[in-house]
Amino acid sequence: MTRIAIENPVEMYAVRLGDDALVLGHRLSEWSSNAPFLEEDLALSNVALDYIGRARMFYTYAGQLRNDGTTEDDYAYLRDCRDYYNLLIHELPRGDFAFSMARQYLVDVFNLAYLAELQQSRDESLAAIAGKAVKESTYHLRRSNDWIMRLGQGTRESLRRLQDAVVELWGFTPELFAMDALEIDLLAQGIAVDRAALRDSWDRQVRATLEAAGVTMPEPDWQVDGGRQGVHTEHLGHLLGELQFVQRAYPGLEW
Amino acid sequence: MSDSKAMTEAELIERFQSRIDDEQKIEPKDWMPEGYRKNLIRQISQHAHSEVIGMQPEGNWITRAPTLRRKAILLAKVQDEGGHGLYLYSAAETLGVSREELIAALQSGEAKYASIFNYPTLTWADIGAIGWLVDGAAIVNQVSLQRTSYGPYARGMVRICKEESFHQRQGYEIMLALSRGNEAQRAMAQDSINRFWWPSLMMFGPHDAESAHSGQSMKWKIKRQSNDELRQKFVDQTVKQVEVLDMTLPDPDLKWNEGRGHYDFGEIDWEEFKRSMSGGGPCSRQRVAHHVKAHEEGAWVREALRAYQKKQKSQADKAAA
């Protein structure tokens, strides 16, 4: 199999955003038939569907930029771990319900601000995808924000689980705001979003909510990154092993 | 019981039956015989549990679906099944039983669900076969139930049927793609048909003569057509679809009967059916254990939600005072 080499920076940007969406969508989809009650099972599937839909739009656009017939499925199914560029927070295993909800909340606050900015992109296709996604994220945040309050102010156990989740996730959040040469360059062209600029307001909002919920904010004394360079946690390889199984076992067929 | 009370009861039953005979829908607040209520709770909850347990074998392939499009469709489909479970639990609740009681009966094995979901989904083709055959069989049954005598159940069925026909199409579309694929894909599809055909026929339940609840259910119009009638209808429609796939059904006795105007088909292995219905299917223990595990793992979440709502309410009460 030939590797999908990505040279066009806009294609790479779209693939990065697609990877973030697909990998998180995969984790969310793992809740199907595993949620605490049926209504929540359906709601988590809804959010998963939004993310998978988002991934498909970003990949499809990336393929159009290549103009060589590369499809959404080629990006999703035919790249190995080192050629996946999602931010690490998205690939962490779903954990318990508090972990999944805490991650979702942290990511939802980020995504809502990010997508609002991406709507202003000079790249019309990216702006259009963001326009659709921002509506979904508004709803996602309303949900995850509610859950943070319920878990924080529910029982001692739910607060403890929420607290543990925030501690485990915290070191993965700085990567959300890390700009690299590619995105700095695309920012200068009016295409990419300045992630670094979103940090202060994200930080204020997240702290205010988590503290109101009763969470003690962790000290920012560790951080892990590397997703944009394809240096992942060990979890991603297993996720891809599952995601790509059929395409790898029966290559080159129509399904 | 006094004579006058007995008379009243008899009159109520008579009036009830004449409403049924007159094709009127029975609504939650209407008087109904205890047997009618029990029979409905049994049937609706069994139907609800089937939807919910059915999420497992299909959900088994969400993370492994072969394309993003198939993944999105499957995820949406499994979500729909959960939604059907919800409508049906709500319909059952109108008869005075709580969701907790219904779930407890499922987990204890007291309540049944469709035995088909006790078979494993081993390949991607199984997702096609389930959508096509299992949802296909379910639709035949559910179309008939749109005319069931209990209002909330009938209305639930109308909604559910609309979505199920989309599910069946997606299943058949998977099979069609495989049938046009290479040798490995065709073999995968045929193997799946071979494994799911007989269990699909079992979905209609025992022969009419053997069916414990059928006679009374037909009289009360909870059921509108008999198990054997519905099964025949399903066989007749499916044979043609198999021909389009250029595949076969695993039944040497299957043949067109000109005189009857229907296909004849072989006898179901009723021992296997009984085994599967009473918890002895290949995945029976796994399915219930999975439901119990998810439910137990979620107990602290439900508890937190209740505690939070209670706190919110007491704060609101204080503010109002």
- pLDDT (tens digit per residue) in A14-68: 999 999 999 999 999 999 999 999 999 999 999 999 999 999 999 999 999 999 9
Give the domain ranges of chain A: 9-249
Instruction: For residue B96, count CB atoms less than 10 angstroms from its CB and return exposed for 0-12, middle for 13-18, buried for 19 or more.
Output: exposed
ipTM of the complex: 0.97
The whole-angstrom distance between B40's CA and the closest CA on chain A is 22
Closest chain B residue to A75, measured at CA? B68
- pLDDT (tens digit per residue) in B57-75: 999 999 999 999 999 999 9
Residues of chain B contacting A46 with CB distance shorter than 8 Å: 79
Tell me the average pLDDT across A156-180.
98
Q: Are B67 and A34 in contact (CB < 8 Å)?
A: no
The whole-angstrom distance between A177's CA and the closest CA on chain B is 28
Closest chain B residue to A238, measured at CA? B63
B299 shares contact with chain A (CB less than 8 Å):
yes
Instruction: For residue A251, count CB atoms less than 10 angstroms from its CB and return exposed for 0-12, middle for 13-18, buried for 19 or more.
Output: exposed
- For tokens 């038939």, the residue is A33
A42 shares contact with chain B (CB less than 8 Å):
yes
The whole-angstrom distance between B245's CA and the closest CA on chain A is 15
The whole-angstrom distance between B167's CA and the closest CA on chain A is 17
Residues of chain A contacting B71 with CB distance shorter than 8 Å: 29, 52
pLDDT of residue B5: 58
Instruction: For residue B201, count CB atoms less than 10 angstroms from its CB and return exposed for 0-12, middle for 13-18, buried for 19 or more.
Output: buried
A24 shares contact with chain B (CB less than 8 Å):
no
**DSSP character at residue A196:** G
For A:77-106, CB contacts with B below 8 A are 77, 96-97
pLDDT of residue B6: 61
The whole-angstrom distance between B129's CA and the closest CA on chain A is 14
**What's the CATH number of domain A9-249, 3.40.190.10, 3.20.20.10, 1.20.1260.10, 3.40.50.800?**
1.20.1260.10
Q: Are A52 and B304 in contact (CB < 8 Å)?
A: no
d(CA B127, CA B120) in angstroms, rounded, equals 10
Tell me the average pLDDT across A158-171.
98
d(CA B91, CA B40) in angstroms, rounded, equals 10
Tell me the average pLDDT across B126-140.
96
For A:216-245, CB contacts with B below 8 A are 242-243, 245
B157 shares contact with chain A (CB less than 8 Å):
no
Q: Are A155 and B290 in contact (CB < 8 Å)?
A: no
Q: Are B59 and A59 in contact (CB < 8 Å)?
A: no
The whole-angstrom distance between A201's CA and the closest CA on chain B is 28
The whole-angstrom distance between A149's CA and the closest CA on chain B is 8
The whole-angstrom distance between A131's CA and the closest CA on chain B is 20
Residues of chain B contacting A253 with CB distance shorter than 8 Å: 181-182, 185
pLDDT at A239 exceeding the cut of 90 = yes
B100 shares contact with chain A (CB less than 8 Å):
no
**Binning pLDDT at 50, 70 and 90, where does residue B8 land?**
confident
d(CA B206, CA B228) in angstroms, rounded, equals 8
pLDDT of residue B107: 97
**Binning pLDDT at 50, 70 and 90, where does residue B165 land?**
confident
- pLDDT (tens digit per residue) in A66-118: 999 999 999 999 999 999 999 999 999 999 999 999 999 999 999 999 999 99
For A:116-155, CB contacts with B below 8 A are 149-151, 153-155
pTM assigned to the model: 0.95
pLDDT of residue B254: 97
Tally of CB atoms within 10 A around B270:
12
Asked if residues B185 and B178 have their Cβ atoms less than 8 Å apart, the reply is: yes
**Binning pLDDT at 50, 70 and 90, where does residue B164 land?**
confident
The whole-angstrom distance between A193's CA and the closest CA on chain B is 26
Q: Are B75 and A45 in contact (CB < 8 Å)?
A: yes
Chains A and B: how many Cβ contacts under 8 Å?
136
Mean pLDDT of chain A: 97
Q: Are A246 and B79 in contact (CB < 8 Å)?
A: no
pLDDT of residue B212: 73
Residues of chain B contacting A54 with CB distance shorter than 8 Å: none
Q: Are B75 and A48 in contact (CB < 8 Å)?
A: yes
Region of residue B96 (phi > 0: left; psi between -120 and 50: alpha; otherwise: beta): left
Q: Token pair of A156, please? A: 């001692």
Q: Are B64 and A158 in contact (CB < 8 Å)?
A: no
pLDDT of residue A90: 98
pLDDT of residue B263: 98
Burial annotation A25-64 (CB, 10 A radius, 16+ → b, else e) = bbbbbbbbbbbbebebbbbbbbbbbbbbbbbbbbbbbbbe
Q: Are B85 and A38 in contact (CB < 8 Å)?
A: yes
Residues of chain B contacting A32 with CB distance shorter than 8 Å: 55, 59, 62, 75, 78-79
| pLDDT-above-70 percentage for chain B | 98
DSSP lists the bridge partners of residue A153 as none
Between the alpha carbon of residue B252 and those of residues B98, B210, B249, the distances in Å are 46, 25, 8
Choose, out of A19, A28, A39, A41, the residue to mutate when testing the contact with B (most B CBs < 10 Å): A41
Q: DSSP for B281-294, please give it.
A: STTHHHHHHHHHHH
